[in-house]
Amino acid sequence: MYLNNVGIRKIARFVGASPAGVLRWIRKEHEAVQARLAKSGPACVTEADIIEMDEIYTFVQKNSCGR
């Protein structure tokens, strides 16, 4: 849930735990993931395949009749 942008308090309500307990669990799992990544060796860094934009790009064509 945390990786899908669900807030700490909402996770706590859903699983029936305190927000502090959820935060401790997230930090503990983060340390475990970092340890596994360090053990597996350096990762190959490549360019991103997907680019996400926040704003909409719009093109408005000028009217050719001279208004």
Read off the pLDDT of residues 7-52 as tens digits, 9 standing for 90 and up. 999 999 999 999 999 999 999 999 999 898 888 876 666 666 666 6
| Residue 45 DSSP symbol | P
Q: Quick check: helix, strand or coil at residue 48?
A: coil
Distance set, CA 16 to CA 5, 9, 65 (Å): 18, 10, 66
What count of other Cβ atoms lies within 10 Å of the Cβ of residue 22? 21
- Spatial separation of the C-alpha atoms in residues 16 and 23, rounded to whole Å: 13
Q: What's residue 31's pLDDT? A: 94
- Spatial separation of the C-alpha atoms in residues 28 and 26, rounded to whole Å: 5
Q: Is the pTM of this model over 0.75?
A: no
Q: What's residue 39's pLDDT? A: 87
| Sequence letter at residue 30 | H
**Is 70 exceeded by the pLDDT of residue 57?**
no
